[in-house]
Amino acid sequence: MRRALPLCLLLVTGCYDLSELGTLYQPDAAFQGPDDAAIPDEALRDQAAEDRAVVDKATLGDLADDDLTTRPDLAASDGAPADLLTRDGPLQDLAIAPCAPGLADCDKNPATGCEVNLQSDPKSCGQCGAACAGIAHDTAGCSAGECVIAACTLPFADCDKSAQSGCESNTTTDGANCGGCGLSCGNGAVCSAGKCAMGCVAPQILCGAGCVDPRTDALHCNGCNLKCPNVQNGAPGCANAQCGIGGCNPGFGDCDKNPATGCEVNLQTAPGNCGMCGTFCAALPNSAPGCALGACGVGLCSVGYGDCNLKVLDGCEAKFATDPANCGKCGTACMGACTNGACGAWSPMQSNTQKALSAVWGTGQGEIYAVGGGGTIVYSANNGQTWSVKSITQQWLSGVWGSGPNDVYVVGNQVIYRSVNKGVNWNVLIAPPNVWFQKVWGSSAADVYVVGDGGSIAHTVNGGTAWTLQIANNFESLQGVWGSGKNDVYVVGSFGTILRSIDSGTTWIPRVGNTQIDLYGIWGSGPGDIYITGDQGLILHSDLNGGFSPLKSNTVQLLWTPWGSGKTDIYAVGWIGTIVHGDGLTMAPQPSGTANTLYGLWGSGPNNVFAVGSNGTILHHP
């Protein structure tokens, strides 16, 4: 294991005689190998072994010394990552204030508010959609949230005061309720036309104790005790001595005019007879015709669409496959893009190599470079649609950066290359020996920094013709470099090392990160907005006091590299396919679709991001 040494700075400035540099840093000779010579960092020795065996074992820092059985954060994933970052979305914006007691929002339309009185509405009595139905010769009503008889159809009356029997008494024929409830005919008299009499007047006939009209009486239709059959969703009736439908329950209709089917249509929900027979609801965008509570609205949404704003006129307006406010379902909002119904979806690309890829960089004009094991350079000229592979050395390549299409640097184990013709040829630059260079960054084609093991910082101001080597005297690995300009450059490394130069690399000043955790990557949108990633899911963000504060990453996995398209669109990638994304305040895991470790990250914008990793992995977002 490595030891933390007090941090001080030994500067070796100016151009130098390469023959004299061997004494600045000498790696352990035991580290030499037939394919990868002078590898001072134990984790990168493991990476070189992966290149030979095509096995992903790269673990920078002291991870190679750790027993994975004692590192649950590395031995196994921290569970299936949450693939969606959700919020209330448009539903929150359109929410209706709580309804007063007894009122309800039954149509779910914010424009109408709490439109239903559950205490008195017979279509929604006590609760939305609970319609009161008439029993016999009555019109149903609602009082105090309970179904009641609102009115009787003359000449019927509710003489037993029971809602369960409806208006059960025909006051024109009922001898016990002749002309009104409780008016009984005695001494053998009968009730005829609502009056007590000694006999029936034609066309009425005597049935029991009352006179009935067999032409209209459903209980004696065309003869005594010839009761008309029950009617579905309605009451039986008798007309011209023929049984039929006397009336339909509220919310139902006899739209086919067939007594055998009764009141067959639910006028509350039938889009072809909505509210009344013959009222047809038209289809709305991406939906079938719909009817609710007797009013036309949005019906069943087409597959892949949803009515998320609850507005009738635009139908099922949300396309779940691509809508970032309703990704996969209503209310599931993405911080970035929605692809195939998933937030931040990443698609694998055919890299045409099984070599581990350590870093990726592009011109922003469709040309992309990824570098890795065995001197591999994977190149695309068409934004990742196709990739070509070449090897320019046997050494591992760890970093890539360019100032433009015709100026690209690649660094690795004791090597620095530069191409000035879009990667057709790679020129070997004379570099400080015995250093595994990890990453490269520059403020221009001439002003370039390369960092690596042994606390090494190599700097050129003439495009690589000559280099100044500086040693941060902690003899630890420097893993990342980035700057906002020529006079504002940062490097990060093991044991929480953060150094900054504000004088073109002449001196390097320690910055406070308040951590001893190994740091591996750095990126910023500008001088006051910088992100650093490290082991154990660590993300540091520059604070207002000039230091760095931890940002919750919601992962415990090692994070190799950060990148963002701006202040509110930040990504980081790492161990076991880990990808986290956020707005600079909160971060959330995204599904990567791979268990391969992801080392490098770069993008030209929020919807064109590339991640690379072990086994030739290249992922593209979206």
Those residues whose C-beta lies under 8 Å from the C-beta of residue 10, and which sit 6 or more positions away, are 470, 471, 472, 473
- In 508-597, DSSP assigns E strands to 509-510, 519-526, 529-534, 539-542, 548-550, 559-566, 569-574, 579-582, 587-590
pLDDT given at position 201: 81
Question: Which one of 182-191, 207-216, 289-298 scores highest in mean pLDDT?
Answer: 289-298
Residue 611 has pLDDT above 90, yes or no: yes
Residue 266: burial class (beta carbons within 10 Å; 0-12, 13-18, 19+) = middle
d(CA 18, CA 24): 11
| Contact by Cβ (8 Å): 439, 450 | yes
In the chain, the largest separation of any two C-alpha atoms, in whole Å, equals 140
The pLDDT of 272-285, averaged and rounded, is: 94
Residue 459, phi then psi, degrees to nearest 5: -135, 130
Tokens of 34: 């037939």
Per-residue pLDDT of 205-264, as tens digits, reads: 888 878 889 999 999 999 999 999 999 999 999 999 999 999 999 899 999 999 999 999
Per-residue pLDDT of 378-403, as tens digits, reads: 999 999 999 999 999 999 999 999 99
pLDDT given at position 96: 54
| Contact by Cβ (8 Å): 580, 559 | yes
Whether pTM exceeds 0.75: no
Q: How confident is the model at residue 84 (pLDDT cuts 50, 70, 90)?
A: very low
CB atoms within 10 A of CB 230: 9
Residue 26 has pLDDT above 70, yes or no: no
d(CA 459, CA 448): 6
CB atoms within 10 A of CB 525: 17
d(CA 406, CA 392): 18
Average pLDDT over the chain reads 83
The pLDDT of 413-417, averaged and rounded, is: 95
d(CA 127, CA 570): 47
Tokens of 598: 């992801």
Query: What is the DSSP secondary-structure string of 305-372?
Result: EE--S--STT-S-EETTT-TTSSSSTT---SS-EETTEET--EE---S--S-EEEEEE-SSS-EEEEE
CB atoms within 10 A of CB 15: 12
